[in-house]
Amino acid sequence: MVYDALGQWKRAVDAFGNACRFCPDSLKLLANWGKTLVEHQQFAAAIPVLARLLTLGEHGASRKRLALAFVSTGQLEAAEQQYREHVAKSPLDGSAWFALASLGENTLTDADGDRLRELVGVAAEEDRIGMQFALSRHAEQKNDYAAALAWLSQANAAERRCVSWDAAAFSRFVNDVLDAFESPYSATQTPRGRNLIFILGLPRTGSSLVEQSIGQHAGVSTGGELSVLHDIVSDESRRRGAAFPAWAPAARSADWARLGEQYLASVAEQRGDATVFTDKRCGNWIYIGAILRMLPGARIIYTRRAPVDTCFGCFRQRFSQGAQLFSYRLDECATYWHDCERAMQRWQQQYPTRIRVQEHETFMSRRAEQVAALSEFCGLALSGVPTHFPQTAIATASAAQLRSAHVSARSWSAQYGSHLDPVRAAVRAADGRQTV
């Protein structure tokens, strides 16, 4: 546990493994070993550890972790079994109900829906929210989109009361960032980061599918959603005693080089021997000016989707607590989307050869062509790369969807029809469009 706290998770995994060889029946050791493996996306390795634990007895959230590991490695039926065993023992666990509901379009039965409606009135608020999100999925299965939207609205309203988000203040922050990086930056020597790929944009725009498609190439390591860049910028802000981006205009080339080398060192262990490494933290779009000063050789892929589907996709998803603070009100989803769009337009003007815009609908309708174009942009050979759903481990909210035998470009706008008129109105208000 000390190793893990110091960021040396591989040593922590080895330490737990060695301890379990001496104490193979220790629930606590097995639980901590499995927990560490799951937290660091070592899902295949976590499965036998957690399965062994559960043959000895229940231990906290271990069964849910095992279910997550099954989802992330494509074993959806095994995941459903674990979630069902968990909710049978802990029926008021709203997060488990939502995870179960997220496994597929028809995972929840009518009996599940009836049971959830019984439980939602007696559950604690945190669990009630999870159940409301699950009930929205069940209503979608029944094509009852009015009910689905009603459940989502209740759940998100409760979530919104628990978080602090100032959309106007964030828009001002975006303005400050764009002002601080008004001039583009060009490298004068062999650029750092030439084998790094940052995949960014709003959640629910296909970024996981893009990363997994790139990850099928030989010599590519997929980093997933990393906080490394954000942490480096935050540490530099503390060191300088000024918030980002106030210190950026005064930073020298040597400062950016130092921060770039810090990033490379931070991801070196996870990258291993891979030639190419991906970082898929959606919110990194705000840091593009900093990225291309720190790592001027990096490539950036902006995943984009139709605005109504993007905003509603965020509203529809229950993210981990505090992960997407803008996502609990439709107007705030639309404002955040607009801030991202206008920032990306500026970054694209400044760095037209470093940024690729990947439209989700185009990717889904012309998969082979788009994978080939992505490969070319990333400097990767296409030979032998599959163009269907991915095979590597996935640790995002999209995991179950990407693991389905059929991944489609679903249009929430078409499916919900006029029920999403409030979303359309919010996008028009944020963007000034006449139609969306």
pLDDT tops 50 at residue 44: yes
pLDDT of residue 9: 72
The answer on 362 and 341 residing in a single domain is yes
Q: What is the pLDDT of residues 251-288, one digit of tens each?
A: 999 999 999 999 999 999 889 999 999 999 999 999 99
User: Do 149 and 191 lie in a common domain?
Assistant: no
340 lies in the same domain as 196:
yes
* 299 CB neighbour count, 10 Å cutoff: 22
Cβ atoms within 10 Å, residue 51 = 17
- Give the residue from 160, 184, 212 where a domain finishes: 160
Do 14 and 74 fall within a single domain? yes
Q: What percent of the chain has pLDDT over 70?
A: 90
* Residue 255 is assigned to a structural domain of this protein: yes
Same domain assignment for residues 219 and 309: yes
Coil, helix or strand for 189? coil
Same domain, 189 and 139: no
CA dihedral over 79, 85, 86, 91, signed as positive or negative? positive
Average pLDDT (159-182) is: 97
Residue 95 has pLDDT above 60, yes or no: yes
Mean pLDDT rounded to a whole number for the chain: 91
Got the DSSP string for 413-433? HHHHGGGGHHHHHHHHHHH--
The pLDDT of 292-314, averaged and rounded, is 97
- Rg of the chain over Cα atoms, rounded to whole angstroms, equals 22
The per-residue pLDDT for 341 is: 97
What pLDDT shows up at residue 409? 65
In this prediction, residue 293 carries a pLDDT of 96
Over range 9-20, report the average pLDDT: 86
CATH of the domain at 313: 3.40.50.300
Q: Which burial class, exposed, middle or buried, applies to 17 when counting CB atoms under 10 A from its CB (0-12, 13-18, 19+)?
A: middle
What's the structural domain count of the chain? 2
Whether residue 174 contacts residue 285, with contact meaning beta carbons closer than 8 Å, is answered with no
What pLDDT does residue 384 have?
53
436 lies in some domain: no
Residue 60 has pLDDT above 90, yes or no: no
Last residue of a domain, one of 140, 160, 180: 160
Q: Is residue 189 part of a domain?
A: yes
Q: What is the pLDDT of residues 63-90, one digit of tens each?
A: 999 999 999 999 999 999 999 999 999 9
Is residue 329 one of the residues assigned to a domain?
A: yes
Q: Which residues contact 107 (CB under 8 A, 6 or more apart)?
A: 80, 100, 101, 137
User: Which amino acid is present at 32?
Assistant: N
Spatial separation of the C-alpha atoms in residues 305 and 324, rounded to whole Å? 17
Task: Name the domain boundary from 160, 194, 217.
Answer: 160
Residue 386 has pLDDT above 70, yes or no: no
Cβ contact 334:429 at 8 Å: yes
205 and 140 in a common domain: no
363 within some domain? yes
pLDDT in tens, 341-377: 999 999 999 999 999 999 999 999 999 999 999 999 9
The pLDDT tens digits for 177-216 are 999 999 998 766 668 999 999 999 999 999 999 999 999 9
What CATH number does the domain containing 135 carry?
A: 1.25.40.10
At residue 102, the 3 state secondary structure works out as: coil
Q: What is the reported pTM?
A: 0.91
Predicted pLDDT of residue 405: 44
Asked if residue 211 and residue 146 are part of one domain, the reply reads: no
Residue range 392-427, pLDDT digits in tens: 555 555 555 554 544 556 789 999 999 999 999 999
Above 90 in pLDDT, residue 435?
Answer: no
**Domain for residue 366, yes or no?**
yes
What strand order describes the sheet that includes 299-304?
220-222, 276-279, 196-201, 299-304, 355-359
Q: How far is CA 381 from the centre of its chain?
A: 26
Alpha-carbon torsion angle 291, 294, 296, 302, nearest 10: -10
Q: Are residues 285 and 306 in the same domain?
A: yes
pLDDT score recorded for residue 321? 78
Q: Do 51 and 82 fall within a single domain?
A: yes
Same domain membership, residue 198 and residue 70: no
Which pLDDT value is given to residue 406? 46
Asked whether residue 53 is assigned to any structural domain, the reply reads yes
Q: What is the distance of C-alpha 106 from the center of its chain? A: 23
Per-residue pLDDT for 102 more than 60? Answer: yes
Copy the structure tokens of residue 375: 């490969």
The answer on 322 and 190 residing in a single domain is yes
Question: Kind of pairing, strands 196-201 and 299-304?
Answer: parallel
Question: Is the sign of the CA dihedral 122, 128, 130, 131 positive or negative?
Answer: positive
Residue range of the domain that includes 228: 167-431
3-class DSSP assignment, residue 219: coil
Q: Where are the alpha helices (DSSP H) in 57-165?
A: 62-72, 76-89, 94-101, 110-119, 125-141, 145-160
Measured CA to CA in angstroms, residue 185 lies from 39, 246, 249 at distances of 36, 17, 12
Does residue 107 sit within a domain? yes
Residue 4 has pLDDT above 70, yes or no: no
